[in-house]
Structure 1
Amino acid sequence: MRKSCIISGLLVLFLFFSNIMKAQSGNTFQDVENLLNDALFYSDKYITPATDAAVYQAASGWITSPKKRKLWDVTLGLHSNIFFVPKRDRSFEIKNSDFSFFQIEGGATSTTVPTALGGDSLEYLVGDLDGGQIRLKTPEGVSQETIFYPYLQGSVALWHGTEVVVKYSPKTKLKRGDYQVYGFGLKHNVSQYFKVLESKKIHFSGLIAYSKEDISFDFISIPTQFGSLGINRLNGLVDTWQFQLNGSKEFKNFELMGGLIVNASKFEYIVGGPKGEIEEIIPLQDILNKKLEQISKNKTNVIGEISGRYQIKKVFLQPVIGFGKFVNTNFSVQYEF
């Protein structure tokens, strides 16, 4: 995210001073280690709300209907997903006591700064390294109250009430970054084993799905005496396994649905882009990516889902609401072949 990621200034400086200044004083080297620890702390607080939100954006709308379909039936849908950014996740508080190297400029002991989901930033962090001041502007966020992205989803009915489901979104441009998701899943109808449910037009199905979410932000390549750094992108990569149970009741052309989602996600962070001149001296990107492993994590989410599906001949209109820590909405137009 252009002018928005403090790690682009903090972690980068680590490369020079931890690899080139090892021969200098022990105090200088300790300052570099402190700088790196501050960078990891800030990066985690800054980017985690965005990757958490990505899980919700990818979770909704997998099951368009729990009904059992006929063999080789095909459903294609155009989905529009709208995520509402909650105010509580747009900013976080930092204190001087949180840092080993940096302090808040102006003598303040604490201040509020934006996360990746927040707005603009007017705060600066300052530190002293070997007699020279380092002054960095805290990151800006996407400055969007809602995040919209479209995607395509299709399913094919197989044997014994099983369907394969695939979703794919093109890379969606945000104000200061990009978002993309794709994945596949298997859905199986459970109510087919209970004829009394089928006779009352009540349907149940289960789903297991895998999705990959990729959130990327622009970086600044800071010019130095060693040449360009060439760190242009920061990516948050989320691998999610989703388990879901949905039930529905048909009322003529309308089907009312509810679902329970449990997903387990792995979060990783990497820097990339064209390598800079500094790579002739230090393998900068490799070092940064190794350090970023320290803020990788695993999380489990429990999400509720409600939706309604209205049929107009072979066309279906369906709004979906997913809720839990966040609220995510989805609207799709589907066609059944």
Structure 2
Amino acid sequence: MKKLLCFCFAGLIFNGSQAFGQGNVDVEEILQAGLNDLNTYMGYYVEPAAKGFMYSMGSGWAQTAKTHGTLGFDLKFAVSGAAVPGQYETFSFNPAEFEKIRVKDASGPVQLPTLYGNPNANGTLQIYEGDLLIAEADIPPGIDIPVKYVPAPLIQGAVGLPAGFEIIGRFIPKTTIEDTEISQWGLGIKHDIKQYFEGINIIPVDFSLLVAYNSLDARYYINEVQGQVASMNVDTWTVQGLVSKKISILTVYGSIGYNSGSSDYSMRGTYQINGTSEQFVDPVQLDYEAKGAMGTLGARLKFGPIFLNGDYTFQEFNTVNVGLGVSIK
């Protein structure tokens, strides 16, 4: 049953390896509090990872405002990383939200670590049945990582169309890594709007609009034979106004826009606590949303067809994006 917590820890595949290695949480004890308490606790615990992934996936769509000419194209590999704000390193544990779980020696709300919290946090959760103490468990600590970022890799290509349009696609085919299966696709449209304003061509910068959608699906097979599987689905929408200026091999670009997303995490199958006859069917269902304004500043260096770009997006989870690719007009 420790893999149940692994899933709640992981929530996100790219943070999962550190969480899977923890192995120091008494999941069997926490489960005695019931599914409502488990989902409430884990909902708070994995929230920074869930939201961070949405912000990571919603960035990195453009490295210039200029659209390709007809049949011009680019292809790049990039990695985005959303920084977890300090306020998401802990959550307020309010006993009124829980049926059976209490924090030992705490008489009211207390701050506990999230997945991105203190890896050395200690303390004890107590589980009560009425006034009777039935179990105790260590408070789940944060994962031990050097930087508190939520990463999301991507493969992205773009093709120029007539009338100043450019279509952008993201695609990761269904890929299996050990017990994890992941796939991703996204579609964006960028359009040159400078062409519609007479006289604006004298301004030596490019302007465009971008609308993009991204979807990621992942499954973690806890026990494929027994039908125990955890699934993750993340969807994001991004709308941006882009501006850029090219100076020799350097292109400086920026944007303002809006990013929104939703994600759900579920665990399907039947699970039994070791040493008991009690079973849990489809025990975890977590849902999250994230949305807000965004602003990006970045630069691209282009050496022949090869380019390297990097940018920083200001939003609730500030995001760094670095990409390497090839571009042919």
Q: TM-score scaled by structure 1? A: 0.73
Alignment gaps of 5+ in structure 1 = 14-31, 222-228
- Contact 2:189–2:212 (CA under 8 A) maintained in structure 1: yes
**Offset of 1:179 from its aligned partner?**
8.3
Match of 1:123 in 2: 123
Match of 1:58 in 2: 57
Match of 2:306 in 1: 315
| Match of residue 156, structure 2, among 153, 168, 172 | 153
Question: In the aligned structure 1, how far is the partner of 2:233 from the partner of 2:326?
Answer: 32
Partner AA of 2:135 in structure 1: I
Cα deviations across residues 259-318 of structure 1 (Å, max 9, x unaligned)? 11212322322114x75579xx999444x35xx3xx535442211111112222222221
Match of 1:250 in 2: 246
**Offset of 1:218 from its aligned partner?**
9.5
Question: In the aligned structure 2, how far is the partner of 1:332 from the partner of 1:302?
Answer: 23
Match of 1:26 in 2: none
Question: In the aligned structure 2, how far is the partner of 1:297 from the partner of 1:154?
Answer: 29
Cα deviations across residues 26-68 of structure 1 (Å, max 9, x unaligned)? xxxxxx7xx4443333222112221111121112210122113
Residues 1:304 and 2:295 are matched in the alignment: yes
- Contact 2:298–2:310 (CA under 8 A) maintained in structure 1: yes
Match of 1:208 in 2: 211
Paired residues, what number?
298
More helix by proportion, 1 or 2? 1
- Contact 1:230–1:277 (CA under 8 A) maintained in structure 2: no
- Contact 1:60–1:320 (CA under 8 A) maintained in structure 2: no
Residues 1:85 and 2:84 are matched in the alignment: yes
- Per the alignment, do residues 49 and 185 of structure 1 end up closer, same or farther by CA in structure 2, a change over 3 Å counting? same
Which structure: larger Rg?
1
Match of 2:15 in 1: none
- Contact 2:56–2:152 (CA under 8 A) maintained in structure 1: no
- Per the alignment, do residues 250 and 335 of structure 1 end up closer, same or farther by CA in structure 2, a change over 3 Å counting? same
Question: In the aligned structure 2, how far is the partner of 1:297 from the partner of 1:84?
Answer: 18
More strand by proportion, 1 or 2? 2
**Offset of 1:77 from its aligned partner?**
1.0
Question: In the aligned structure 1, how far is the partner of 2:43 from the partner of 2:205?
Answer: 45
Match of 2:186 in 1: 183
- Contact 1:56–1:322 (CA under 8 A) maintained in structure 2: no
Residues 1:112 and 2:115 are matched in the alignment: no
- Contact 1:68–1:192 (CA under 8 A) maintained in structure 2: no
Alignment gaps of 5+ in structure 2 = 9-24
Residues 1:268 and 2:271 are matched in the alignment: no
**Offset of 1:12 from its aligned partner?**
5.2
Question: In the aligned structure 1, how far is the partner of 2:105 from the partner of 2:221?
Answer: 28
Partner AA of 2:257 in structure 1: I
Matches within 5 A, 1:166-177: 166-168=169-171
Match of 2:21 in 1: none
SS of equivalent residue, structure 2 residue 62: coil
Question: In the aligned structure 2, how far is the partner of 1:300 from the partner of 1:311?
Answer: 33
- Contact 2:213–2:236 (CA under 8 A) maintained in structure 1: yes
SS of equivalent residue, structure 2 residue 82: strand
Match of 2:37 in 1: 38
Question: In the aligned structure 1, how far is the partner of 2:183 from the partner of 2:141?
Answer: 21
Calculate the aligned-residue CA RMSD, in Å: 3.7
- Per the alignment, do residues 277 and 87 of structure 1 end up closer, same or farther by CA in structure 2, a change over 3 Å counting? closer
Cα deviations across residues 71-126 of structure 1 (Å, max 9, x unaligned)? 11110112132333333212223243443312112456454322122343423211
- Contact 2:293–2:315 (CA under 8 A) maintained in structure 1: yes
Q: TM-score scaled by structure 2? A: 0.75
Identity, in percent, stands at 22
